[in-house]
Structure 1
């Protein structure tokens, strides 16, 4: 896979967009502007690395066959396992294996754990080809990294890890809908908040927000200026949400409120995604800081807020009306 020496904008013109500001997070409008640039760079990266080529560099392998060889070099795998690892359908994985078998680079045998499927492994010739592939790719990336300062290499690795994680999270969130709260959602949202609160022992008698008198009519509260609430649906079932509203008694400060998720939504990265959406809205509304109150009973939430840049305050701000959440936190927007 040889690298092209053509300029970045070869083949298609680079979208002309304004770079986002230097704030901690970009606004939704800025993200919409950056999206075409990221798509352009991703396309160009795939082309530069030869992933659209019929051959993997100087070796008699297609890119899919090369990726298959690399995975089989780690361990013997079934077609289903290869399909999952390579993010391709089973027919394409099976086709890649068939070509490797014909080239005597791989072999199949009955899976000792399941006679209904085959186990694929490398032959001695396959291991030899894998070594050539590793050498070729190591040399290619050594040439690439030689163009960068050590600090740029570190930055590149961190950015690619972040990008890869975001892609994985986005894929896991397919089928999930995030939309503004409507009056028809009030009953369903109240049920979610009560269920999650009970799960963690945040009962009304202890002074938590589940005791709010507005809980059954939240669409009215978040329909006020400077406020917004989003719900999350999966398979047309309301399963969570979060919102932003002004913090009483603190001008220019908003509060991140009522972030609740049913178990079906957890572990998908949706809490971070929705929190970022709330913070983006807060910035667009002109708020200077975002406040929240939480409790040690919610360790996952504490970790999320810290990762977003929230810091613990020595004492509460404003007048939230809640006395049980003992950890006040603030983020400068």
Structure 2
């Protein structure tokens, strides 16, 4: 997808929702003031906490909070556990204003939803949920970089594979990836015409994980997802999903029709990730990978339209 049309659509949504206006509908509240009141509906919060929730600078929260206090919509109270801080709380007038805000905005949203069929409403909900999730992951991933492996990365990514294997008890004597004789030479291993390997750099340029694809022996149109390992500091950021998506896009570009993988039940998070991306379980292995101890075999059909625009 070209990001430019999506950006244009996002701008249109911001305009249609009145986020560029000085007030929300008929209420004397700016959009930022409205967001602050809604956050305080969940309980007292400090300036810093509110700024973090709204993804804005603390100074940008201070001024609208001061305006809300001047209008007696919020009040400042001593923090129960931090004598240096104060918490903002909704006043009775603030609660009344918030109720009016919800009623007006709910009515406007209901008018918009009335233009859609039940199926379209479900599509809208799912699309917005996915977009919100993607934006959140992209924000958390700032400072990290996925790039092709270089020769200098060899010892670092090998150390990652060994560390993660030890963490999960994936020992060499059981035939897991850590037993691969080429583990210390992954850059050279993935120099084939239809092979790729990427590493993930942290903000300090430390190698924290990696993964790649290579032809599955004896099956010309099938690639194998290989050496997907991530240190604990990298997990929970969505970078594993991002790397797999990048690998699948490259597999499509290289002409593969299916992507195969083998994993083990110990790696529960990895299996759940693959399932969420459409990989299906197989009753047994494809080809000859040599991963005797990997009891979970999965495959994804490419060029099906699911991963394409």
TM-score per shorter chain, which class?
A: over 0.9
1:88 aligns with 56
2:243 paired with 1:267? no
Which residue of the partner structure matches residue 197 of structure 1? 165
Q: TM-score, normalised by structure 2?
A: 0.96
Question: For each residue in 1:115-160, what CA deviation from the matched residue of structure 2 results, as whole angstroms up to 9, or x when unmatched?
Answer: 1111101111111111111111011101110110011111101111
In structure 2, stretches of 5+ residues that fail to align are: 303-309
Q: Which runs of 5+ in 1 are unaligned?
A: 1-30
Partners in 1 of 2:140 and 2:198 — Cα distance? 19
* 1:298 paired to 2:246: no
Aligned to 2:290: 321
Q: Deviations over 1:194-239 (max 9, x none)?
A: 1111110011111111111111111111111111001000011001
Q: Which residue in the other structure is 1:127 paired with? A: 95
Instruction: List aligned pairs for 1:60-99, cutoff 5 A.
Output: 60-99=28-67
Counterpart residue number, 2:246: 277
Q: TM-score, normalised by structure 1?
A: 0.89
Aligned to 1:56: 24
Distance (Å, rounded) in 2 between the aligned partners of 1:79 and 1:111: 11
What SS does structure 2 have at the residue aligned with 1:91?
Answer: helix
Task: Tell me the equivalent position of 2:307.
Answer: none
1:177 corresponds in structure 2 to: 145
Match of 2:193 in 1: 225
Q: Give the Å deviation of 1:275.
A: 0.4
Which moves more between the two structures, 312-321 or 172-181? 312-321
Secondary structure of 2:291's match? coil
Secondary structure of the residue aligned to 1:114 is coil
* Cα deviation 1:274-331 (Å, max 9, x = unaligned): 0000000000111010000000111111101111111111111111122111111111
How many residue pairs end up in the alignment?
Answer: 301
Question: Counterpart of 2:18 in 1: which secondary structure?
Answer: coil
Cα distance in 2 between the residues matched to 1:301 and 1:142: 40
Q: Deviations over 1:29-85 (max 9, x none)?
A: xx3xx2111111011111111111111111111110011111112211111111111
- CA RMSD after TM alignment: 0.8
> C-alpha distance in 2, partners of 1:86/1:106?
17
Deviating runs (4+, > 4 A) in structure 1? none
In structure 1, C-alpha distance between the alignment counterparts of 2:229 and 2:41, rounded to whole Å? 43
Whole-Å separation in 1 of the counterparts to 2:106 and 2:291: 58
- Deviation, 1:89, is 1.1
Of 257, 264, 273, the residue aligned with 1:288 is: 257
- Cα distance in 1 for residues equivalent to 2:249 and 2:167: 29
Which structure 2 residues correspond to residues 103-252 of structure 1 after superposition, within 5 A?
103-234=71-202, 235-252=204-221
